[in-house]
């Protein structure tokens, strides 16, 4: 069951109230609950902004793209961490999109009906594993393997790109990206599968009846037909990757410098916050609040776009064309 989406309102049509409540006390109680929730969120946003303000008033805005993070010299540049966030997310999505789509197509159209539920559940259970466990596993199990086998191999094959300079550290941006890929894969697969299967069967049959092979049906009818929803799945997965904290902090080989290769250590906005929050005070603390605010805004924006895209597909999926 996809907890991400739930249902929307009934699109404007006036629905008869579920419990034609005469008891206003009851109604007030429900409304109060909703209002309290809204108030909490409002408090959250206001607090984030106000706690970040000292950073902007004492450092200006430029610290957001400042290149150096060195509290000792009062430099709080966030650029290394913004780049780190982007780099790890890009690596994760470069892997998650093809593998997620292939997996979703298989689950939606290729696997036998009887194993479909088991396999789908298995992929979705990947999302249930706590992120800190991924961090532990990534650091203890995968990092050594990265250092001794995978990174040397990739360096030899792709070294010419200039992305693989430097020593094989095991931990670093690359490992963080790979762990993130594993963590966002279930989101990508579950939502993609739903939108791919929502492509009206009419069209699939229409293509087959013209003499298309199954591969052609996938490439020319199913994938294009679901493209809005697929972009939504992509966005939701990206939002997840951007905001992930502990798994990344454990495997990224924490460094406060701009990473010069994807094998080197780095940091993300989230790992910066979690590593420094405990001991920070004054300007540094305010900057951390600001970093949290930046992260919040980016992830919220990505999520909003994503939900709009997925909803549009879900709504229009039932009727692909108007019939006179």
Partner 1 sequence: MTEPSVAPDTVETDLGVNTGEVFVERDRRQPVMRLTNVGVAFAGKTAVRGVTFDVHENEVTALIGPSGSGKTTLLRALNRMHDTVRTAVVSGSVLLGDTDIYTGGIDPTLLRSRVGMVFQRPNPFPTMSIYENVTAGLRFNGVRNKALLEEAAESALIAAALWDSVKDRMKAHASTLSGGEQQRLCIARALAVEPEVLLMDEPTSALDPIATKRIEELVGELKSRVTIVIVTHNMQQAMRVSDRCAFLLMAEDKAGELIEFDATAKLFSDPADPRTLDYVNGRFG
Partner 2 sequence: MTALLDAPPDPILARRAEIRQIAAASVKRRRVSSAITLGVCQAFLVIALVPLVAVIAYVVAKGLPAWNSAFFTETTATDGVKNAIIGTVVIGAIATVVAIPFGLAAGLFLAESDGRVAGTVRFVADVMTGVPSITIGIFGYIAIVSTTKQYSGFAGAFAIGMIMLPVIMRAGETAFRGVPPTLNEAGLALGARKATIARRVVLPSALPGIITGVLLAVARGLGETAPLLLTILGSDFVHWNPTKPMNALPLVIYNNTNQPDPSVVQIAWGAALLLMAVVLVLNIGSRVTAAVLQKEKR
Q: Does 277 bind partner 2 (CB under 8 A)?
A: yes
Q: Does 162 bind partner 2 (CB under 8 A)?
A: no
Tokens encoding 210: 């013209």
Cα(169)–Cα(175) distance, integer angstroms: 10
Q: Of 44-52, 76-84, 150-158, 159-167, which segment contacts partner 2 by CB under 8 A?
A: 44-52
Measure CA 36 to chain center.
28
Q: Of 42-50, 67-75, 197-205, 313-321, which segment contacts partner 2 by CB under 8 A?
A: 42-50
Q: Is 66 helix (H, G, I), strand (E, B) or coil?
A: coil
User: Computed from CA positions of residues 263, 267, 271, 274, in that sequence, does the dihedral angle turn out positive or negative?
Assistant: positive
Partner interacting with residue 208 (select from partner 2, partner 1, none; CB below 5-8 Å by kind): partner 1
Residue of 36, 60, 156, 157 interacting with partner 2 (CB under 8 A): 36
Q: What is the binding site for partner 1 (CB under 8 A)?
A: 112-113, 200, 202-203, 205-213, 216, 220-221, 224-225, 227, 320-324
Asked if 186 contacts 127 with a C-beta cutoff of 8 angstroms, the reply is yes
Burial 218-235 (b: 16+ CB within 10 A, else e): beebbbebbebbbbbbbb
Q: Would you say 173 or 190 has its CB closer to partner 2?
A: 190
Query: Please, what is the minimum distance in Å from the beta carbon of residue 108 to partner 1?
Result: 14
**Residue in the block written with tokens 């009906």:** 113
Q: Is 70 helix (H, G, I), strand (E, B) or coil?
A: strand
Binding positions for partner 2, 202-231, rule CB under 8 A: 211, 213-216, 218-219
Residue of 93, 270, 286, 309 interacting with partner 2 (CB under 8 A): 270
- Provide φ and ψ at 319, rounded to 5°: -120, 110
Q: Would you say 214 or 260 has its CB closer to partner 1?
A: 214
Q: Which helix (H) or strand (E) holds 197?
A: helix 173-197
Query: Please, what is the minimum distance in Å from the beta carbon of residue 324 to partner 2?
Result: 30
Q: Does 257 bind partner 2 (CB under 8 A)?
A: no
Residue of 292, 309, 314, 317 interacting with partner 2 (CB under 8 A): 292
């Amino acid at each position: 069951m996809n907890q991400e989406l739930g249902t929307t309102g009934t699109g404007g049509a006036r629905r008869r109230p579920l419990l034609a409540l005469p008891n206003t006390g009851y109604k007030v109680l429900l409304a109060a609950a909703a209002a309290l929730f809204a108030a909490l969120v409002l408090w959250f946003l206001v607090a984030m902004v106000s706690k970040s303000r000292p950073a902007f008033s004492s450092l200006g805005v430029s610290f957001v793209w400042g290149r150096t993070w060195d509290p000792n010299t009062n430099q709080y540049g966030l650029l290394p961490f913004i780049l780190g966030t982007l780099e790890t997310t890009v690596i994760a999505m470069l892997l998650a999109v093809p593998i997620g789509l292939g997996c979703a197509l298989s689950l939606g159209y290729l696997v036998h009906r009887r194993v479909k539920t088991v396999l789908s559940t298995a992929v979705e259970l990947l999302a249930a594993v706590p992120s800190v466990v991924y961090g532990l596993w990534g650091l203890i199990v995968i990092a050594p393997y990265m250092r001794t086998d995978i990174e040397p191999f990739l360096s030899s094959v792709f070294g010419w790109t200039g992305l693989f300079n430097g020593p094989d550290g095991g931990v670093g941006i690359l490992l963080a990206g790979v762990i993130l890929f594993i963590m966002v894969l279930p989101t990508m697969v579950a939502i993609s599968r739903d939108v791919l299967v929502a492509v009206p069967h009419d069209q699939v049959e229409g293509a087959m009846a013209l003499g298309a092979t199954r591969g052609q049906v996938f490439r020319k009818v199913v994938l294009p037909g679901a493209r809005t929803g697929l972009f939504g799945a992509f966005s939701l997965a990206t939002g997840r990757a951007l905001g992930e904290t502990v798994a990344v902090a454990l495997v990224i080989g924490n460094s406060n410098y701009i990473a010069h290769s994807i094998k080197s250590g780095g940091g993300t906005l989230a790992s910066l916050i979690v590593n420094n929050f405990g001991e920070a005070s004054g300007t540094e603390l305010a900057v951390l609040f600001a970093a949290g605010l930046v992260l919040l805004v980016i992830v919220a924006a990505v999520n909003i776009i994503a939900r709009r895209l997925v909803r549009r597909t879900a709504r229009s999926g039932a009727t692909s064309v108007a019939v006179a």
